[in-house]
Amino acid sequence: KAGVTQTPRYLIKTRGQQVTLSCSPISGHRSVSWYQQTPGQGLQFLFEYFSETQRNKGNFPGRFSGRQFSNSRSEMNVSTLELGDSALYLCASSLLIDNYNEQFFGPGTRLTVL
**Does the footprint of another protein cover residue 11 (CB under 8 A)?**
no
Phi, psi of 49 (to 5 degrees): -120, 140
Identify which of residues 16 and 40 has a Cβ nearer to another protein in the complex.
40
Instruction: Give yes or no for residue 100 binding another protein (CB under 8 A).
Output: yes
Give the three-state DSSP class for 85. helix
Nearer Cβ to another protein (11/104): 104
Interacting positions 30-69 with another protein (CB under 8 A): 31-33, 35, 42-45, 48-50, 55-56, 58
Give the residue among 6, 8, 18 at the shortest CA–CA distance from 73. 6
For another protein, how many residues bind (rule: CB under 8 A)?
34
Using CB under 8 A as the binding rule, whether residue 85 contacts another protein is answered as no
Q: Which is nearer to another protein, 18 or 54 (CB)?
A: 54
- Cβ of 62: how many Cβ atoms within 10 Å? 6
Nearest CA-CA partner of 53 in 36, 35, 66: 66
Residues lying near another protein in the complex (CB under 8 A): 4, 31-33, 35, 42-45, 48-50, 55-56, 58, 88, 90-92, 94, 96-108, 110
